Structure 1
């Protein structure tokens, strides 16, 4: 069982500089060859490649494994001719040593392209890439760039947004100022990275299939989701109107006005969507999951708390009048506390209802399984 250690020179530099017939095989012949190559061109990386092949062969010999070392250098005026000469030399080595496997030693990405030629003739146990220390950073960068360009997903994630940004930059500079153009390009790149990083693309890709399944299955949630989207638009519309009607207000106050006016509609949208999910669970006759049952209560509780805080800030700024109940004016802090307590109470009721219904459903499942088991034993 012989392992053939092959130093591959696809460029043909070794053969041209030494005028030695290829392939060169055998320990002493390869040692003599590395001296000739070093004397002809001490700066040639092929010297390190040949020495690495000798080192690998010596390690195999020290491990009591039979090995043979050889150097293959291409010859020919074209790439096809060079590769065919490499294939002929490898055939000669296989015929001479009848190896069971091979270890290929290369010093560049170009030499590594002959790997299919070697693998078509004998099994390859490993590839040893020799990188000279002075050029290690450059070679490592080249290999990383080559691997990056070979990954289709990485190309589409990074190169496509970058290319679009570079195409838009001249147009934006022509139409707007440099600051606006750079801000637009940065925003585009940021949105593209977030779109991919948060896996929004996977969710968007699944949306048509989910909608198709929901339509075919006749789910009530399809209608409630449309109603929820409409309520959200109405809430956003009234929020913008509320924020723009009072001119001259600071930006934080306008933001609170938007939240105060939009929250009831947004909470209603969330409640509508949650009720649709709940109705789908009831129609399936498979029991209601506790988190689905708790969704409507969570929507109402969050809406109460958010509106309470928004109203508190607006009352403090005298933007809205203080709440009056039965002729008694309620202080802003008391009003906020009432909204918080109401939200907590609603959430507790939701947790209690969800836990009770979940426990009842679990008992029904256990009873049904026990009844079916007894019937099976009776049969």
Structure 2
């Protein structure tokens, strides 16, 4: 069995400069080819690729392995024609020699694209990339940029936002201070990167189809989602009304933020509860079994809303923004008691939800087991 040390030249630089047709097989033939290519163009990296193929062949033979060196190239004007030419030459070598595996020697990223073609016919044990030492950094950077610019998705994701940002810089500098202009450009670029990084574009592209399917199938969640959106807007609006215009400073910003959270959380929790209730109804209507996560969600929403409102109320009462909480009109609670009551209520509701979900899932499991027993009988 022979190991074929294969020097690959996709662009046919070797054949064009030496005037020879490939494949070129054998130690003496390849060594003579090195002289021809080197005299034609001493600066061509193909010379180093041929020498590396000879060096690898010598090392394999020194290790008592049966190795043969060969050169194949893509003698065609088109990329597809070049790849098919390489495939034909490789088929000739496999037919003429008892080849078991191959070691591929290349001098560029373009040549490495032929590795799958070779792997479809031979087992490739190694790929040896030859880069001229003096130009290592330059060539690596060049091929990295070439691959980057060849990727359409990367171009649209990175180059387009950067180009838009650079165009906006002089326009913003004319109207605003440099700090404001740079902050605006940075915010724009950050928003674009988050938009692509979080796959918001994919989510938005699927929304119309999902809404159409939901409307055609008569799902209750379509209505509840619309109601939930309205409640969320109401909550944000009410929270904003409670916030006074803050002045610059940590304390002046902290208290209005707590007021916003305290007054908007009930409406936001009601919005989430409405949306989860609609999803739960869809599960009840469309399936005989209810997922545990859908059962837990309403209770989890209520529990989180109580805890967040309790923490915000505790801090606001300590700041003197809220009066003491009264129960049944005569029991006054201290800030600590208020916080403890809300946290306790949230824990109790979450435990009740977990218990109900476990009970429902157990009953569903028993029904499934019973139906299987009936089917088997």
Task: Kindly indicate whether residue 344 of structure 2 is the aligned counterpart of residue 346 of structure 1.
Answer: no
1:87-109 deviation digits (Å, cap 9, x = unpaired) = 99999999999756897754346
Query: 234, 237, 259: which one pairs with 1:257?
Result: 259
Aligned match of 2:274: 272
1:232-254 deviation digits (Å, cap 9, x = unpaired) = 00000000000127989711000
Question: Structure 1 residues 247 and 11, CA, compared in 2 at 3 Å: closer, same or farther?
Answer: closer
Q: Which moved more, 1:137-146 or 1:288-297?
A: 137-146
Contact 1:30-1:71 within 8 A present in 2 as well:
no
Question: Structure 1 residues 14 and 288, CA, compared in 2 at 3 Å: closer, same or farther?
Answer: closer
Distance in 2 between the 1:266 and 1:8 partners?
A: 65
Describe how 1:84-123 pairs up with structure 2 within 5 A. Answer: 99=96, 105-108=105-108, 112=111
Aligned match of 1:293: 295
Contact 1:7-1:50 within 8 A present in 2 as well:
no
Q: Where does the alignment leave 5 or more consecutive residues of structure 1 unmatched?
A: 375-379
Aligned match of 2:139: 139
Distance in 2 between the 1:284 and 1:28 partners?
A: 76
Aligned match of 2:284: 282
Aligned match of 1:228: 228
Task: Kindly indicate whether residue 334 of structure 2 is the aligned counterpart of residue 331 of structure 1.
Answer: yes
Q: Secondary structure at the residue paired with 2:256?
A: helix
Task: Kindly indicate whether residue 323 of structure 2 is the aligned counterpart of residue 321 of structure 1.
Answer: yes
1:243-283 deviation digits (Å, cap 9, x = unpaired) = 12798971100001101110111111111111111211221
Aligned match of 1:188: 188
Aligned match of 1:243: 243
Aligned match of 1:22: 20
Aligned match of 1:377: none
RMSD between aligned residues: 4.1
Question: Structure 1 residues 11 and 282, CA, compared in 2 at 3 Å: closer, same or farther?
Answer: closer
Shift of 1:344: 1.1
1:112-143 deviation digits (Å, cap 9, x = unpaired) = 49969xx79x9687675420122222222222
Shift of 1:307: 0.9
Question: Structure 1 residues 95 and 259, CA, compared in 2 at 3 Å: closer, same or farther?
Answer: closer
Q: Which moved more, 1:301-310 or 1:203-212?
A: 203-212
Task: Kindly indicate whether residue 358 of structure 2 is the aligned counterpart of residue 355 of structure 1.
Answer: yes
Question: Structure 1 residues 22 and 103, CA, compared in 2 at 3 Å: closer, same or farther?
Answer: farther
Contact 1:7-1:53 within 8 A present in 2 as well:
no
Shift of 1:333: 1.1
1:164-213 deviation digits (Å, cap 9, x = unpaired) = 22232232223222222222222222222222222333322322222122
Aligned match of 1:200: 200
Contact 1:232-1:269 within 8 A present in 2 as well:
yes
Distance in 1 between the 2:300 and 2:85 partners?
A: 75
Q: Which moved more, 1:320-329 or 1:214-223?
A: 320-329
Question: Structure 1 residues 91 and 241, CA, compared in 2 at 3 Å: closer, same or farther?
Answer: closer
The TM-score, its normalising length taken from structure 1, stands at 0.78
Distance in 1 between the 2:172 and 2:278 partners?
A: 45
Contact 1:8-1:71 within 8 A present in 2 as well:
yes
Shift of 1:229: 0.4
Distance in 2 between the 1:38 and 1:237 partners?
A: 77
Distance in 1 between the 2:301 and 2:89 partners?
A: 78
Aligned match of 1:367: 370
Aligned match of 1:177: 177
The TM-score, its normalising length taken from structure 2, stands at 0.78
Contact 2:54-2:69 within 8 A present in 1 as well:
no
